[in-house]
Amino acid sequence: MQKRSFFDDVDPAETREWLEALESVVEREGPERAAWLLDAITNEAQEQGVYRTHLNTPYLNTIAPKDEAAIPGDMFMERRIRSLIRWNAMATVMRANIDNDDELGGHIASFASSATLYDVGFNHFFRAPSEENEGDLVFFQGHSAPGVYARAYLEGRISEEQLDNFRREVDGKGLSSYPHPWLMPDFWQFPTVSMGLGPIQAIYQAHIMKYLQNRELIQKDNRKVWAFLGDGEMDEPESLGALGLAGREKLDNLVFVVNCNLQRLDGPVRGNGKIIQELEGVFRGAGWNVIKVVWGRLWDPLLEKDSKGLLRRRMEECVDGEYQAYKKNGGAYTREHFFGESPELKKLVEHMSDDDVYRLNRGGHDPFKVYAAYHEAVNHTGRPTVILAKTVKGYATGAGEAVNKTHQMKKLDLESLKDFRDRFDMPFTDEQLEDVPYYRPTDDSPELRYMKEQRDKLGGYMPVRRRKASQQLAIPGLDVFANFLEGSGDREISTTMAFVRMMSTLIKDKQIGDRVVPIVPDEARTFGMEGLFRQLGIYSSGGQKYEPEDAGQIMYYREEKKGRILEEGINEAGAMSGWLAAATSYSIHDFILIPFYIYYSMFGFQRVGDLTWAAGDSQARGFLLGATAGRTTLNGEGLQHQDGHSHILSGTVPNCVSYDPTYSYELAVIIQDGLRRMYEDNERVFYYLTLMNENYIHGAMPEGAEEGIRKGMYLLREGKAKTKKSPKVQLLGSGTILREVEAAAELLREDFGVAADVWSVTSFNELRREGLKMDRDEMLNPEGERPASWIEKCLDGRSGPVIASTDYMRAYADQIRPWVKAPYAVLGTDGFGRSDSRQKLRHFFEVDRYFVVLAALNALRKEGKVEVGLVKQAIEKYGIDTDKPYPVMH
**Cβ atoms of residues 89 and 108 within 8 Å:** yes
Out of 265, 352, 478, 875, the only residue in the binding site for ligand TPP (CB under 6 A) is: 265
Separation of first and last alpha carbons in the chain: 56
- Minimum CB distance to ligand TPP, residue 538 (Å): 32
Please choose, out of 194-202, 208-216, 615-623, 673-681, the segment that lies near ligand TPP by the rule CB under 6 A.
194-202
Residues 630-659 contacting ligand TPP, CB under 6 A = none
394 sits near Mg ion (criterion: CB under 5 A)? no
Nearest one of 385, 454, 382, 379 to 67, comparing CA atoms: 379
Separation CA 706–CA 672 (nearest Å): 11
Please choose, out of 187-195, 364-372, 818-826, 860-868, the segment that lies near ligand TPP by the rule CB under 6 A.
187-195
Length of the chain, in residues: 890
- Minimum CB distance to Mg ion, residue 629 (Å): 41
201 sits near ligand TPP (criterion: CB under 6 A)? no
**Cβ atoms of residues 741 and 758 within 8 Å:** yes
Cis, bond preceding 463 (omega within 30 deg of 0): yes
Q: Which does 801 bind (CB under 5 to 8 A by kind): ligand TPP, Mg ion, none?
A: none
- Close Cβ partners of 372 (under 8 Å, ≥ 6 residues apart): 63, 67, 68, 69, 71
For Mg ion (CB under 5 A), the number of binding residues is 5
What stretches of 724-765 adopt beta strand conformation (E)? 728-733, 755-761
Q: Which does 143 bind (CB under 5 to 8 A by kind): ligand TPP, Mg ion, none?
A: ligand TPP
Nearest one of 575, 593, 600 to 496, comparing CA atoms: 600
Dihedral (Cα; 336, 338, 343, 349), 10-degree rounding: -80
Q: Under the phi-then-psi rule, with left for phi > 0, alpha for psi from -120 to 50, and beta for the rest, what region is 744? A: alpha
- Minimum CB distance to ligand TPP, residue 358 (Å): 21
801 sits near Mg ion (criterion: CB under 5 A)? no
- Minimum CB distance to Mg ion, residue 270 (Å): 10
Out of 61, 62, 92, 261, the only residue in the binding site for Mg ion (CB under 5 A) is: 261
Separation CA 877–CA 51 (nearest Å): 76
- Minimum CB distance to ligand TPP, residue 234 (Å): 7
259 sits near ligand TPP (criterion: CB under 6 A)? yes
For ligand TPP (CB under 6 A), the number of binding residues is 19
Nearest one of 812, 608, 575 to 712, comparing CA atoms: 812
Q: Quick one: 123 or 263, whose CB is closer to ligand TPP? A: 263
- Close Cβ partners of 63 (under 8 Å, ≥ 6 residues apart): 291, 293, 369, 372, 373, 376
- Close Cβ partners of 456 (under 8 Å, ≥ 6 residues apart): none
- Minimum CB distance to ligand TPP, residue 275 (Å): 9
Residues 453-492 contacting ligand TPP, CB under 6 A = none
264 sits near ligand TPP (criterion: CB under 6 A)? yes
Out of 96, 195, 202, 657, the only residue in the binding site for ligand TPP (CB under 6 A) is: 195
Q: Quick one: 268 or 622, whose CB is closer to ligand TPP? A: 268
Please choose, out of 83-91, 224-232, 613-621, 624-632, the segment that lies near Mg ion by the rule CB under 5 A.
224-232
194 sits near ligand TPP (criterion: CB under 6 A)? yes
Separation CA 716–CA 822 (nearest Å): 19
Q: Quick one: 108 or 852, whose CB is closer to Mg ion? A: 108
Q: Quick one: 107 or 558, whose CB is closer to ligand TPP? A: 107
Q: Quick one: 181 or 626, whose CB is closer to ligand TPP? A: 181
Q: Kindly list the distances between the CA atom of residue 213 and the CA atoms of 430, 563, 574, 591, 870, in Å, as whole numbers in the listed order.
A: 56, 12, 20, 12, 68
- Minimum CB distance to ligand TPP, residue 145 (Å): 12
**Cβ atoms of residues 521 and 599 within 8 Å:** yes
Gyration radius of the chain over CA positions? 32
Residues 554-613 contacting ligand TPP, CB under 6 A = none
Please choose, out of 234-242, 258-266, 676-684, 823-831, the segment that lies near Mg ion by the rule CB under 5 A.
258-266
Q: Quick one: 389 or 649, whose CB is closer to ligand TPP? A: 389
Rounded to the nearest 5 percent, the helix, strand and coil shares of the chain are: 45, 10, 45
Residue 717, beta-bridge partner list:
758
Residues 113-142 contacting ligand TPP, CB under 6 A = 113
Residues 140-179 contacting ligand TPP, CB under 6 A = 143
Q: Quick one: 229 or 705, whose CB is closer to Mg ion? A: 229
440 sits near ligand TPP (criterion: CB under 6 A)? no
- Minimum CB distance to Mg ion, residue 309 (Å): 29
Q: Which does 194 bind (CB under 5 to 8 A by kind): ligand TPP, Mg ion, none?
A: ligand TPP
Q: Which does 708 bind (CB under 5 to 8 A by kind): ligand TPP, Mg ion, none?
A: none
**Cβ atoms of residues 834 and 639 within 8 Å:** yes
- Minimum CB distance to ligand TPP, residue 774 (Å): 36
Out of 68, 136, 231, 706, the only residue in the binding site for Mg ion (CB under 5 A) is: 231
Q: Quick one: 576 or 791, whose CB is closer to ligand TPP? A: 576
Collapsed DSSP state (helix, strand, coil) of residue 763: coil
Question: Residues 219-258 vs ligand TPP: string with x where CB under 6 A?
Answer: -----------xxxx-------------------------
Q: What is the SS3 assignment for 575-635?
A: HHHHHHHHHCHHHHCCCCCEEEEEEEHHHCHHHHHHHHHHHHHHCCCCEEEEECCCCCCCC
Q: Quick one: 261 or 664, whose CB is closer to Mg ion? A: 261
Separation CA 192–CA 175 (nearest Å): 16
**Cβ atoms of residues 849 and 743 within 8 Å:** yes
Q: What is the SS3 assignment for 37-94?
A: HHHHHHHHHHHCCCCCCCCCCCCCCCCCHHHCCCCCCCHHHHHHHHHHHHHHHHHHHH
Collapsed DSSP state (helix, strand, coil) of residue 484: helix
Residues 372-431 contacting ligand TPP, CB under 6 A = 393, 407
232 sits near Mg ion (criterion: CB under 5 A)? yes
Nearest one of 192, 23, 163 to 90, comparing CA atoms: 163
Please choose, out of 4-12, 259-267, 535-543, 731-739, the segment that lies near ligand TPP by the rule CB under 6 A.
259-267
110 sits near ligand TPP (criterion: CB under 6 A)? yes
Q: Quick one: 107 or 768, whose CB is closer to ligand TPP? A: 107
**Cβ atoms of residues 666 and 760 within 8 Å:** yes
Q: Which does 193 bind (CB under 5 to 8 A by kind): Mg ion, ligand TPP, none?
A: ligand TPP
Q: Which does 233 bind (CB under 5 to 8 A by kind): Mg ion, ligand TPP, none?
A: ligand TPP
Nearest one of 117, 111, 71 to 89, comparing CA atoms: 111
Out of 146, 147, 174, 230, the only residue in the binding site for Mg ion (CB under 5 A) is: 230
Q: Quick one: 263 or 361, whose CB is closer to Mg ion? A: 263
**Cβ atoms of residues 260 and 364 within 8 Å:** yes
Question: Residues 70-109 vs ligand TPP: string with x where CB under 6 A?
Answer: ----------------------------------------
Residue numbers at the binding site for Mg ion (CB under 5 A): 230-232, 261, 263
**Which parts of this chain interact with ligand TPP (CB under 6 A)?**
110, 113, 143, 193-196, 230-233, 259, 261, 263-265, 269, 393, 407
